[in-house]
Structure 1
Amino acid sequence: MKTGIALISSLTLATSILVSGCGSSKTATSESGNTAAKTHTIKIANYFAENHPQNVALREKFKPLVEKNSNGTLKVEIYENSKLGAEKEFYDGVRNGTIEMGIPGMIMQADIPKMAIPELPFLFKDYKHAKTVLSGPLGKELTAEMEAKHGVRVLAWSANGFRMVSSNKSITNLEDFKGFRLRMPNIPNYIALGKSWGANVTPMPISEVFAALEQKVVDGQENPIATLRASGWYEVQKHVLESRHMFSPNVYIVNNKFWQKLTPEQQKAVEEASKAAADYEWELLEKNEATDKKFLEEKGLKFHTPDDNFKKQMQSAAQPIYEEFYKKNPSTKELIEKIKAEAK
């Protein structure tokens, strides 16, 4: 009797091991043949509209490259248009690991002052200047504290573009900003810049901008024209001031604890795909600027290019922002001067 029970127990154990082995479909052998690569789904969040170059690059470059070069062990899900929350919410989600990746702007600058530098007013001359700085050693210096302080790894710099002011009235001089209700992100540099021009600044998330413009809660907003087009704000605006007052970058970030779970091959696939997608997005954004302007003009928007006097007025009004920034962060002055020196 005991022999029979022992035999049954042995068969049960063997069957259990066999079933267990067949059920481990979430592993795959890495290229090295030494490590089993678990399969993962990467949620990547951003606040851009579906047809913005950021999401075009994610769909056409990042997702297919990651899935192909990881041999199917990584799957990518794109959550555009603040579907996983506004910028602060999805950034916090990447920090705490509920979201694997994201493409925020400089939302982290409150804790990491160097990350405020790229959005100082009138810092970058053109796209070439911005990309040279951010994609090189100076860009790495800017992001050096991200992993230690916020638990996220920066994989690539991408671009939002040069910001311009859209409005329901023409703005042709500094006086026109007086009493103007201007939506801006809830970021100190932005708010200080709007106030320096004399505007009444109203901070709000990007997801609320269309309704605020439509209901005339605000008179205008400032963003690159790719965002103006992709978000449909041209339906409730009449004018664009080509101020190009600030360059807005974005960063591809990944939760560091999630990153450490990946095999070296998987990490390589994600990092290379991030850089390829970011490069493609830079290309699309710059190339499409003229196309976007033409589209908006066809929709009835009137563009106003500030003359030299107006430009100098805007720049002079913004200078105290630099002085205040240096007071709070004296060690950044040398880095900012290096960035300015890269303009050619």
Structure 2
Amino acid sequence: MKRLLAMCVALGLFCGLALSVAPSAEAKTIIKIAGMKPEGEPETIGMHKFGEYLEKLSNGKYEVKVYPNSQLGKEDSYIDQTRRGTIQMCATGTQMSKFHPAMAMLETPMLYEDLDHAHRAMQGDTFKLITDGFTEKSGMRTMNVFPLGFRHFYTKKPVKSIDDIKGLK
């Protein structure tokens, strides 16, 4: 009996010692952020810059690990991972409108006159109007938007006039 008691006390001391050297509550928090663009693209550069700023402003409390080039799967996959909490952030595109149809407005070509017009719209009431209700429907929060060629079309054939886009989706 004394031997069992001595083992329990020793085990208790060992566990107490292990807990006292365990990482403290001040340990660095890793934030994983996924995107589809490769290194060197503005979206990916922005994710890295976000990580630099966050680490600096938090005095090293947070570290951002960037997973570009669809390393964590296609867009719908890493959106699901973000919604489940497997990763903390993601850079998205057209997939957001499946949760909140108004988000498709962010993908509307030719909506803005120029880059300055787009920035004004996305920093004001237009952005609030488009994103209103998104968090409740998706479980995610929009932190920022930025244009990636808002006056461009992606097609398999050249577009030289308005007639060339008739019937395209």
Bin of the TM-score, shorter chain as denominator length: 0.7 to 0.9
1:186-237 superposed Cα distances (whole Å, 9 cap, x missing partner) = xxxxxxxx5xx245x6xxxxxxxxxxxxxxxxxxxxxxxxxxxxxxxxxxxx
1:96-129 superposed Cα distances (whole Å, 9 cap, x missing partner) = 2222100101312133122122333432111111
Total equivalences in the alignment: 169
For 1:119, give the aligned amino acid: E
Does the alignment pair 1:88 with 2:86?
Answer: no
Q: 1:83 offset after TM fit, Å?
A: 1.4
Does the alignment pair 1:126 with 2:124?
Answer: no
The structure, 1 or 2, with the larger RCO (C-alpha pairs under 8 Å, 6+ apart) is 1
Aligned residue among 63, 68, 90 for 2:56: 68
Does the alignment pair 1:46 with 2:46?
Answer: no
Instruction: Please tell me whether the aligned partners of residues 26 and 39 of structure 1 are also in contact (alpha carbons under 8 angstroms).
Output: no
Aligned residue among 67, 70, 90 for 1:102: 90
For 1:49, give the aligned amino acid: P
Looking at structure 2, the residues matched to 109 and 22 of structure 1 have their Cα atoms a distance apart, in angstroms, of: 47
Looking at structure 1, the residues matched to 94 and 153 of structure 2 have their Cα atoms a distance apart, in angstroms, of: 19
Listed as ranges, the gaps of 5+ residues in structure 1 are: 29-37, 178-193, 202-344
Quick one: structure 1 residues 9 and 82, their matched pair in 2 at CA, closer, same or farther if it must change by over 3 Å? closer
Q: 1:135 offset after TM fit, Å?
A: 1.5
Does the alignment pair 1:159 with 2:147?
Answer: yes
For 2:122, give the aligned amino acid: L
RMSD in angstroms over aligned alpha carbons? 2.7
1:43 partner SS:
strand
1:152 partner SS:
coil
1:274-331 superposed Cα distances (whole Å, 9 cap, x missing partner) = xxxxxxxxxxxxxxxxxxxxxxxxxxxxxxxxxxxxxxxxxxxxxxxxxxxxxxxxxx
Richer in strand (by share): 1
What corresponds to 2:46 in structure 1? 57
What corresponds to 2:25 in structure 1? 27
Q: 1:44 offset after TM fit, Å?
A: 0.6
What corresponds to 2:99 in structure 1? 111
Looking at structure 2, the residues matched to 112 and 96 of structure 1 have their Cα atoms a distance apart, in angstroms, of: 18
Richer in helix (by share): 1
What corresponds to 1:251 in structure 2? none
Looking at structure 2, the residues matched to 70 and 19 of structure 1 have their Cα atoms a distance apart, in angstroms, of: 28
Q: 1:149 offset after TM fit, Å?
A: 1.0
TM-score by length of 1: 0.43
Looking at structure 2, the residues matched to 45 and 76 of structure 1 have their Cα atoms a distance apart, in angstroms, of: 10
Give matches, 1:1-344, under 5 Å: 2=2, 6=5, 9-23=8-22, 25=23, 27-28=25-26, 39-59=28-48, 61-165=49-153, 171-174=159-162, 177=164, 194=165, 197-199=166-168
Looking at structure 1, the residues matched to 104 and 158 of structure 2 have their Cα atoms a distance apart, in angstroms, of: 30
Looking at structure 1, the residues matched to 55 and 120 of structure 2 have their Cα atoms a distance apart, in angstroms, of: 29
